[in-house]
Amino acid sequence: MAVNLDALRPGFTDDPYSVLKSLRESGPVHRVDALGVPMWLVTRYSDVRAALDDPRLSSHGSALAEPLRGHPHFASWWFGDLSDHMMNSDAPDHTRLRSALASVLTPRRIASMRPRVEQLAVTLVDGFADAGECDLIADFAAPLPITVIMDLLGVPSVDQENFRYWADVVTGLADGDAASAREEASGYLRDLVAHKRTSGDDDLIGGLARATGATALTDDELASLSFLLLVAGYTTAVDLVGNGTLALLRNPEQLDLLQRSSSLLPGAIEEFLRFDGPTSHVLRFAAQPVTIGGVEIPAGDVVLLSLASAEHDDARYPRAGQLNIERADRQHLAFGHGIHFCLGAPLARLEGDVAFRTLLGRCAGLALDTSRPLGWRVSLGSRGLRTLPVTFRTRPAMPLDEQATIKVPKPM
């Protein structure tokens, strides 16, 4: 009998890991219902990692069984407007689209963004520091990356309020009509692409709009790519900061350890990504019959690769259910694996590094505000908070290590 994941909400939204642990321990592949659709859930690290790189599991909607193509979720994200991007494609189209983005989203470009990200982070913390409390999502984790994305795409300041509203509604960070927000974003992005074709602007869309040869993109492809960066680039960073902060607050000994030495932060970020990462599940479609974990999956069926389950697989990570910022094994799947490995991973890591250094450097005694509830977004593919109320004591702007030396005693 199939497990109905939809019926398990809101518990499954708040804490999917206990359900996934039970499924993982009882078998590698399960028949489940999600989004009102029968799917095959893959639970174990080795199987999920292999499946992410298996060409028989397609990212393109053409591999989906015909009766499912009209389902609202698939119709919107795989067959609707703004769906012509590399996350929905296989080679060779994927190779061409990825190469185009890689030509402008270079390591040098991302590294050059650090001063701007640092300035944004400091400004945001200054805005709530004196209050001693904030909603960490609305006041910090969300405005930081959406501003970075708008800078990257070259969205004019006059349009940024609308742009952020569309992003918040489409990603579930705010209430609203997602279909209308997507339609409005589509019209805006197409107009923006048309403008960038002739503007000479030195931003990401401008660079791609003027590209020729192998990296040239159509208007549909460029608008879809911009939308992909808006959605994926935004929520990944929001959830890294939000989920990571919550993990620290629920594990105060790990928070103390990080405050004592910011040299642990790069590894801590990798552990946040593994322990409660932004991407919880990835959808694939069986382009041909495929056997996973001894279970034969027919062509056309939907396969749900559970990154959330894989990253808590004790067969892969010792004590996987525990947060350990000193964990040496960093081969997590938070940014995918294979040809779809996230090109924006360096930017997300940069934003996470700056965000945590700034937050922990300015906010002493950071704690959950238990008088207000946490709020999670309801999503199958991503895992993130809508609200994260916290309290703290403000301290002067100093490097994290210096703050820790003063505020946090060394262990005996």
Whether residue 412 is contained in a domain is answered as no
CB-based contact 168:144 (threshold 8 Å) = no
- With a CB cutoff of 8 Å and minimum separation 6, the contacts of 260 are 404, 408, 410
Whether residue 324 is contained in a domain is answered as yes
Q: Is 151 exposed, middle or buried (0-12, 13-18, 19+ CB in 10 A)?
A: middle
Q: Which amino acid is at 296?
A: E
Instruction: Give me the pLDDT at residue 398, please.
Output: 56
User: Which domain does 324 fall in, by range?
Assistant: 3-407
Instruction: Give me the pLDDT at residue 214, please.
Output: 86
Strands 363-368 and 389-394: antiparallel
Q: What is the DSSP string of 181-217?
A: HHHHHHHHHHHHHHHHHHH---SHHHHHHT--GGG--
Peptide bond into 145 cis (omega under 30): no
- With a CB cutoff of 8 Å and minimum separation 6, the contacts of 129 are 362, 363, 394
Structure tokens, 39: 């799917």
- With a CB cutoff of 8 Å and minimum separation 6, the contacts of 309 are 17, 20, 21, 23, 24, 41, 43, 44, 48
* CATH code, domain carrying 309: 1.10.630.10
Tokens 């489409």 belong to: 170
Instruction: Give me the pLDDT at residue 407, please.
Output: 34
3-state helix/strand/coil string of 321-362:
CCCCCCCCCCCCCCCCCHHHCCCCHHHHHHHHHHHHHHHHHH
Strand runs labelled E in 114-244: 133-135
Instruction: Give me the pLDDT at residue 57, please.
Output: 98
Q: Which residues pair with 32 in a beta bridge?
A: 3, 39
Whether residue 107 is contained in a domain is answered as yes
- With a CB cutoff of 8 Å and minimum separation 6, the contacts of 210 are 196, 197, 200
Q: Which residues pair with 15 in a beta bridge?
A: none
Give Cα 4 distance to the centre of its chain. Answer: 24
Peptide bond into 411 cis (omega under 30): no
pLDDT in tens, the chain (412 residues): 799 999 999 999 999 999 999 999 999 999 999 999 999 999 999 999 999 999 999 999 999 999 999 999 999 999 999 999 999 999 999 999 999 999 999 999 999 999 999 999 999 999 999 999 999 999 999 999 999 999 999 999 999 999 999 999 999 999 999 999 999 999 999 999 999 999 989 899 999 999 989 889 999 999 999 999 988 889 999 999 999 999 999 999 999 999 999 899 999 999 999 999 999 999 999 999 999 999 999 999 999 999 999 999 999 999 999 999 999 998 999 999 999 999 999 999 999 999 999 999 999 999 999 999 999 999 999 999 999 999 999 877 655 555 443 333 232 2
Instruction: Give me the pLDDT at residue 405, please.
Output: 37
Q: Which long-range contacts (CB under 8 A, 24 or more apart) does 338-345 make?
A: 338/52, 338/53, 339/53, 339/91, 339/94, 339/95, 339/98, 340/52, 340/59, 340/86, 340/87, 340/94, 342/232, 342/236, 343/98, 343/101, 343/102, 343/105, 344/105, 344/229, 344/232, 344/233, 344/236
Instruction: Give me the pLDDT at residue 306, please.
Output: 98
Q: Which amino acid is at 174?
A: A
Structure tokens, 197: 């074709």
Whether residue 296 is contained in a domain is answered as yes
**377 C-beta neighbours (distance < 10 Å), count:** 20
Whether residue 264 is contained in a domain is answered as yes
- Total domains in the chain come to 1
